[in-house]
Amino acid sequence: MQVSSVGDQTIYGGIASELQESDERDTPLKVKLTDLARLISRFGYIGGIAIAVAYLFQAVVIQNGFDVAAILAYCGNWMAVANDAVQAVMLAVIIIVMAVPEGLPLMIAIVSSLNMGKMLKDNVLVREINGIETAGSLNILFCDKTGTITKGQLEVVTFIDGSASSYASFNDVPEAIRDKFACNVSNNTEAMFAKEGSEAVAVGGNATERALLSYITSANYNSKPVALSIPFSSEIKYSAAQVEGDDPDTLIKGAPEIILPKCSGILLPSGEQSDIDQEKLRASIDALANKAIRVLAFAKCNKSIDDDFMNGEDDWTLVGLVGLRDDIRPESVSAISEAHSAGIQVVMITGDRKETAVAIAKEAGLVTGQDDEIVLTSSDLSKMSDDEIAGKIEQIRVVARALPSDKSRLVKIAQSKNLVAGMTGDGVNDSTALKRADVGFAMGSGTEVAKEAAEIVILDDNFSSIEKAVLYGRTIFNSIRKFIIFQLTINIAAVLVSFAFPLLGMANPLSITQILWVNLVMDTLAALALGGEPALRRYMQEKPKARDEKIVSSYMWSEILTGSIWTFLLSIFFLLSPTSHEIFRDAPNNEYLLTGYFCFFIFTAVFNAFNARTERLNLFDNIGKNKGFLEILLLIVVVQVVMAYVGGDIFRCYGLNIQEWLYVIGLAFTIIPLDLLRKVYALSKKYKKEMRAMRR
């Protein structure tokens, strides 16, 4: 044996170098959150500065009754000026801290970790946590056929000799053809028989070779010494083995379209040779392919394997054809249908010939007979430029006779169109495509190299498990959106209150410690409450979110602005209306009124959490599947009530009586019917839009 290349110069070395490249794209969620972070930071800084200015205006101008002399006297007291300036800066910093959603990373971590445990029970192992959410954003999925869409249990269903006669079982095949075929299967393979008790079981090799060995089990054929061999590769599409012994031959098996043109004759049942009828055999192959049966050709020749073997004259003898069937997984059909409903384009990639691939794709529901559906082969792809493929990629349904390099190319082209691309794979050659894809799905039965390159491992190699990964990814995204609705509603309301009241000549109704408690409720506790939202099947009816789509939708803005403005208006009413002053007991510094307002603000956030967690009118929709939601909200309420009585000067809380509590809770509860009215309006608007679309 002569070593021709080592290290990075080898095929595996090249793959390893590609896997180490760090040119990965940002995940769709990271793109969306980066945009949201810019928006929130601007809002926080502008709000913080505006509130600091409003606080100083109130301290310098309003408190001095707009009297110039009083203002100048105040400015001459540098201690008072410094104290108010420090207070203004502290308030601005607190508002900025409040505006920044520190709980969002925690929320993402919580919801992802909770769903990772659920996914593992569904045979989905998450290796990289960002892979879950990315799966929910998939636009296009390039999927292997064998073992993923099909069962991966290949079985020989027919044998056809050179004269196009078919045989149901191996023992029915004429002896002369049977012996030569068994010799080919036994020696031109990487699989072998192993004893399991009294039975011989095919092990090693690939699924095709094991199926072929299982087919000839009754032959009890002894392997011959192999002098030279050519391993199968996706480039030449066949393998060959030169055997020694009493009847030396070179045995070939592989793709019929490669082997048949090289055959000048056929092996007859008598052991003699005869002329070949290419058209008749091709008709038999096409008939099997239309039944989703994969066909392999077996041939022999008297040549030895040398440098000119693959380029020499074509005088091979056809031994026969074998039809192998790999049945569709029943659950794959419904899972593919679900993926289509979710707006995900599924492209089946297979090494089968085009006709066989189309037949399987029809059974699986990938090809439905529409005029715009495109089926390509690897040779078709090689003749097309990237721009040509990009123009048709959304119509591609099947890629037959695919090479590993085709996968990486298709992913790259899909990403150039700003699509979120997923890829499945199991072999070492698939690892670069898995790494390049936005989310790679490695098969549990695949190589460790493929698993290392992928974000998610499908333990049962089943397409339905991929569909579940998409569902969980969408659940995470929807949970994040619910959290953002909840948080931004309170954020905007708190900033409006802190900005407006100093301009009205009043101190901020929320103290710094109270604002910090509000921030804790919004961030940590809300993340825990909304992080356990269940995976709902209706999420699969939504269309994929564009990679650059804003994470805060127009619907979300309507809910956020409605809730925050309502909270702000109620705050003005609560603190300034005569009704409130009649309800709450008199105190030197409005102690009971401000205690009530603090409780009102927290309770409004609690009630609004019910609005945020569902877009439906039924606020208790699937609430039993997130028991932590009710438990955490109950904890917030209990802590708030206790704080109202024991908070004292630290939290500026001095206790409330029954009448005051009823007033607080009643006003806070109004955010629920208000949002229900908003939802009714949004649903009616959506219904009218759908009706107009149907009429068109």
> What DSSP element (H or E) covers 590?
none
Indicate the SS3 state at residue 617: coil
Instruction: Give the C-alpha distances (Å, rounded to integers) separating 114 from 105, 472, 491.
Output: 14, 10, 26
Tokens of 35: 């945009």
Tokens of 604: 């409004």
Spatial neighbors of 512 by CB under 8 A, at least 6 apart, are 90, 91, 94
The number of beta carbons lying within 10 Å of the beta carbon of residue 558 is 15
Spatial neighbors of 379 by CB under 8 A, at least 6 apart, are 401
Please tell me which residue in 8, 23, 35, 144 is annotated as part of the active site.
144
CA atoms within 13 A on the CB side of 594: 19
Spatial neighbors of 432 by CB under 8 A, at least 6 apart, are 15, 18, 19, 404, 408, 453
Strand partners for 617: none
> What DSSP element (H or E) covers 155?
strand 155-160
Helix 512-520 and helix 591-612, axial crossing angle in degrees, nearest 10: 20
624: left (phi over 0), alpha (psi -120 to 50) or beta: alpha
Whether 431 and 450 have beta carbons less than 8 Å apart is answered as: yes
**DSSP letter at 149?**
T
Residue with the two structure tokens 């149907």: 694
- Active site includes 144? yes
> What DSSP element (H or E) covers 392?
helix 386-392
Whether 531 and 479 have beta carbons less than 8 Å apart is answered as: yes
User: Would strands 238-243 and 249-254 be described as parallel, antiparallel, or unpaired?
Assistant: antiparallel
The C-alpha atoms of residue 621 and residue 630 are separated, in whole angstroms, by 13
Which residues form the catalytic set?
A: 144
